[in-house]
Structure 1
């Protein structure tokens, strides 16, 4: 039987903790928001989920958020369906994952994320393209480094 680690080896390289910065910009490049992040990517062995991600965000004004994203695996695709989002992720080459998702509370909105991991597995670059009614309206630029 195949496993997520075998069939999605690029995703498996993301296991661990990542810290970085999210910068949200409009279509003209104006910064709308900026905050620090700490993400944990896990492959639980207890059988509850194939993948489990915890996103922690911190703003300079003291605001903090934490979100959990359990994922299920089938057919070389990672699927998400939480109270907050629904989506899927798949690998496109030996360093790139594409994630499509939508927020359940935002009708007509979806985004595509491109995630690049470095050959040394210690750096990630991520870009979100946000669409509403099929028109791009903002982007999120993310730069991360593996916690040591």
Structure 2
């Protein structure tokens, strides 16, 4: 069974998403904000059938790119790279089929772990994500992310981005 059939909700996230990440400390004070563009690829012919690349931009001109190729097995996608180790799964109890749940740890920081919940709109054009960063059993940071779908054609956007980078 391929990833599209096994994880149809994940497949609904395929495409290019633009959004804003806002970080809050444990007391609820905003500590960071930046724009994002995410390329979420579902490619069953790849050794990494799910592959996400995040492009971040801050108002002060800083940029960052993070790449997250993932394997599929046991009903989940799995990451194990230099930045994170973890998984994502569809929440079977959500009879509306809107919710993905993720768990991951930062590589090299076993005391810090994160749970993320992703909600996608019924029409598949908006999603919101919430991260809870936990250290020693206590909340350290919360991240709130709002995104809108720009295109389902990640291949076309990826090719445009490659041309402009050359």
* Equivalent residue, structure 1, for 2:86: 87
Query: Taking structure 1 as the reference length, what is the TM-score of the superposition?
Result: 0.96
Q: Which runs of 4+ in 1 moved over 3 A?
A: none
Measured against aligned partners, the alpha-carbon deviations of 1:42-96 in whole angstroms (never above 9, x if no partner) come to 0124422111000010001100000110000011111000111100000003110
Counterpart check, 1:105 vs 2:108: yes
* Equivalent residue, structure 1, for 2:73: 74
Per the alignment, in what secondary structure is the counterpart of residue 147 of structure 1? strand
* Equivalent residue, structure 2, for 1:51: 50
Aligned pair count reads 147
Distance 2:17 2:106 in 1: 23
* Equivalent residue, structure 1, for 2:145: 142
Query: Taking structure 2 as the reference length, what is the TM-score of the superposition?
Result: 0.85
Which segments of 5 or more consecutive residues in structure 1 lack a partner in the other structure? none
Q: Indicate conservation of the 8 Å contact 2:2/2:44, yes or no.
A: no
* Equivalent residue, structure 1, for 2:160: none
| Structure in which a larger fraction of residues adopt helix | 2
Distance 1:32 1:47 in 2: 38
Q: Aligned Cα RMSD in Å? A: 1.0
Measured against aligned partners, the alpha-carbon deviations of 1:12-54 in whole angstroms (never above 9, x if no partner) come to 0000000000000012221000000000000124422111000
User: More deviation in 110-119 or 44-53?
Assistant: 44-53
Distance 2:46 2:70 in 1: 11
* Equivalent residue, structure 1, for 2:29: 30
Which segments of 5 or more consecutive residues in structure 2 lack a partner in the other structure? 152-166
